[in-house]
Chain A
Amino acid sequence: MDEASVISLEALKQGDRQEFARLVDLYAGQVYRLALKMLNDPLDAEDVLQNTFLKALQSIDTFEGRSSLSTWLYRIAANEALMLLRRQRSEVSLGDSSSDDDHDDEYTPREFTDWCCLPEEEFLTAESRQALDDAIQKLPEKLRIVFVLRDIEGLSIEETSRVLGLSEAAVKTRLLRARLHLRNTLSFYFRERVAERKS
């Protein structure tokens, strides 16, 4: 949807409540999904959702319109989600950041079963969908946020780099690692489905 035709930045800056409600209507679902994929917890995702729109409401005056409103909202939401994850991690492990380490062996291909041949309904079961969600949670945070923005929310490489304040080259590298990491995880899961069908 072309947001310029839907949302008036001028009205937002003038404090038009109805216009802000339209902004919430348009983007709350996407912000909530991003938060849910990042945090895997509905209550945490709701916190991120509320904080994102609260901060947007408080700082709309300073929004200069250099990016789209959606990119701006995604940036606030991504920061909120990452901050919450870091806060939770420091509470649990007193600053140990090992859970976000990015090891080469996590994305170097190790499983070569061809599971593309599985029938389509195999990918649509509740269990398979859960496996897809679980695989996202196994990604290190810095890869997860890039993957969610690019491949779940459908942002371009350029938009993703603007949201995260990273170079496009860095986004591409992290996206590749995230995709290969997920391929590995799913390959170990679907390998079992292939074996079950053969037995």
Chain B
Amino acid sequence: MSGQVRCQDLLASLSDYVDGVLDEALCREIEAHMAACPNCRVVVDTLRKTIYLYHQMSKEPATLPSVVQERLYRMLHLDDYRKL
């Protein structure tokens, strides 16, 4: 524990902090805390990396396997409109 922000307080604001939507004054408090608390610094960095990795995954096109698409169109009686 160090500074005005405790580790537990930091945890509660973490999503907003890494999403960049946290109040500026609170950001400064968190950064001051992290400068003195290596574990919290690691938690923030690895949390940011975790979210980044999943965002990268989500950037891949969401495509349907062609057999799944074929069965879906058939079930909905839309075969005539299916783009191949």
Closest B residue to A136 using CB positions: B54
Assembled-state Cα–Cα distance A187/B54 (Å): 14
| Docked-complex contact A116 and B75, CB < 8 angstroms | no
A-B CB contact pairs (8 Å), 7 listed: A42-B68, A46-B72, A112-B42, A114-B46, A152-B58, A176-B14, A179-B47
Contact B39 A112 (CB under 8 A): yes
Q: Could you say which residues of chain B place their CB within 8 Å of the CB of A74?
A: none
**A12 on the interface (CB 8 Å rule)?**
no
Q: Mark contacts of A38-75 with chain B using CB atoms, 8 A cut-off: 1 yes-contact digit, 0 otherwise.
A: 00001000100110011001000000000000000000
Main secondary structure of the interface of A (DSSP, over half): helix
Give the docked Cα–Cα distance between A30 and B58 (Å): 10
**Contact digits for B16-36, partner A, Cβ 8 Å, 1 yes 0 no:** 100000000000000000000
Is B72 within 8 A of A20, CB to CB?
no
Q: A39 to B76, alpha carbons, bound, how many Å?
A: 23
User: Residue A82 at the B interface, CB < 8 A?
Assistant: no
Interface residues on A, range: 35 or more
Q: Min CB distance, B35 to chain A, in Å?
A: 15
Q: What residues of B have a CB within 8 angstroms of the CB of A163 in the complex?
A: none
B81 and A28 form a contact (CB under 8 A)? no
Residues 52-78 of chain B: 1 if any A CB is under 8 Å from the residue's CB, otherwise 0?
A: 011101100111110011011101111
Q: Report how far A49 CA is from B67 CA in the complex, Å.
A: 13
Q: Is A151 an interface residue (CB 8 A)?
A: yes
**Chain A residues positioned under 8 Å from B75 (CB to CB):** 50, 54
Contact in complex: A28, B71 (CB < 8 Å): no
Q: Specify which of B11, B54, B76, B82 is in contact with A151 (CB 8 Å cutoff).
A: B54
Are the C-beta atoms of B62 and A180 separated by less than 8 Å? no
Asked whether any CB of chain B lies closer than 8 Å to the CB of A95, the reply is no
Beyond A21-B73, A54-B76, A179-B15, is A151–B64 a contact (Cβ under 8 Å)?
no
How many Å lie between the Cα of A147 and that of B55 in the bound state?
11
Q: Tell whether, in the assembled complex, residue B62 and residue A132 are in contact, meaning their CB atoms are under 8 Å apart.
A: no
Q: Check if B68 sits within 8 Å of A49, measured CB to CB.
A: yes
In the complex, the answer to whether B54 meets A114 with C-beta atoms within 8 Å is no
CB distance B43 to A46 under 8 Å? no
